[in-house]
Amino acid sequence: MLRGLYTAAAGMMTQQRMHDTVTQNIANVNTPGYKSVNEAARSFPEVLISLVGGNGPGSSQIGKLNTGVFAEETQPTYTQGDLRETGKSSDFGLESSLELVDPATGQPYAFDQSGKFVKADGSVVYRPQAFFTVQDNSGNIRYTRDGSFHVNGAGELLSSTGFKVLGSNGQPLVLDRPINDLQMDSKGNFLYNGAPTNQQLQITVAASPYELVRNGNGVYEAADPQKAGLRNMTAADAVTVRQGSLEGSNVNTAQSMVDLMTAQRAYEANQKVIQFYDKSMDKAVNDVGRV
């Protein structure tokens, strides 16, 4: 078996998947609330190579051999996107800078720019994230950062995908006044002429956002709400709702172009290796085989 041939083929498939992931990020650079995704690659388990026979009894160990790499999973990056003003009363942007306290020290974790903190034992803690709460057409609860809402003829507040936006009571929001006559405070409460109404957006906080599953169109679902640590936002949470604004995507276009070229070059390198093996086998069959 030509191990190098299979290793190069596995590398090509992995780089193709990474290329597709970066392309998806670039295609959604202007999608409100879009969170970029990263491909995590992992090597196949190493194989122990031994020499059987030789000068001594039994077998002698030669060493370990890696047999390739594969794209293990796709993970989103929940960093804050830039807020841009739209002037539309039905647009809402979330600005989140939630903290998490280390139970061992009683101090907040010092999250890095990607929103993670690596403990001394190697375990990783992620920054909690806030989401708008919506209900899909089948009645399932979903979560999104895309606040480009609109109001239908029945006064229901709908997301860009047509899902019903939920209020703090867990029910779909039905506005009793035109959206242009309503204002919103920083905690998602609707105001009329400066006075609070009884309607409020339901903002859900996920203590473990990486437990959420991407459901398409910028919408996430929680397979296990308890594991994701879902709860309703409180007034003490460092989450701000801004009316007339939208959160842009957090895609870094410059880094995406670099990643795109890197994946392409690595793909071409593995392709050259396969071509080399092809020529070697052609030589072995057609030339050496004749002798």
One domain, residues 144 and 257: no
End position of a domain, from candidates 214, 232, 247: 247
**Rounded to whole angstroms, how far apart are CA atoms 146 and 144?**
5
234 CB neighbour count, 10 Å cutoff? 10
Q: So what's the pLDDT on residue 259? A: 92
222 shares a domain with 107: yes
Question: What is the model's pLDDT at position 59?
Answer: 62
Give the total number of structural domains in the chain.
2
Cα of 18 vs its chain's centroid, Å: 14
Say yes or no: 58 and 144 in one domain: no
Prediction pTM value: 0.82
Quick one: 243 and 106 in the same domain? yes
Q: Are residues 42 and 68 in the same domain?
A: yes
H-type alpha helices, 108-223: none
- The tens place of each residue's pLDDT in the chain, 291 residues long, gives 577 788 888 889 999 999 999 999 999 999 999 999 988 888 777 767 766 665 555 567 777 777 788 787 788 889 899 999 999 999 999 999 998 888 888 889 898 877 888 888 888 888 999 999 999 999 999 999 999 999 999 999 999 999 999 999 999 999 988 999 999 999 999 999 989 898 999 999 999 998 999 988 889 999 899 999 999 999 899 999 999 999 999 999 999 999 999 999 999 999 998 888 888 888 877 877 565
Torsion of CA 185, 188, 193, 199, to 10 degrees: -160
Q: Which residues contact 291 (CB under 8 A, 6 or more apart)?
A: none
Show the domain range for 203.
85-247
Q: Are residues 69 and 137 in the same domain?
A: no
Residues 106 and 63 in one domain: no
**Same domain assignment for residues 102 and 135:** yes
Q: Based on the fold, state whether residues 139 and 67 are members of the same structural domain.
A: no
Query: Same domain, yes or no, for 105 and 190?
Result: yes
User: What single-letter amino acid sits at 151?
Assistant: V
Q: Which of 182-188's residues contact partners 24+ apart within 8 Å by CB, and which partners?
A: 182/89, 183/243, 184/92, 184/241, 184/243, 185/241, 186/240, 186/241, 186/242, 187/233, 187/235, 187/239, 187/240, 187/241, 188/233, 188/241
Give the tokens for residue 38: 């990263």
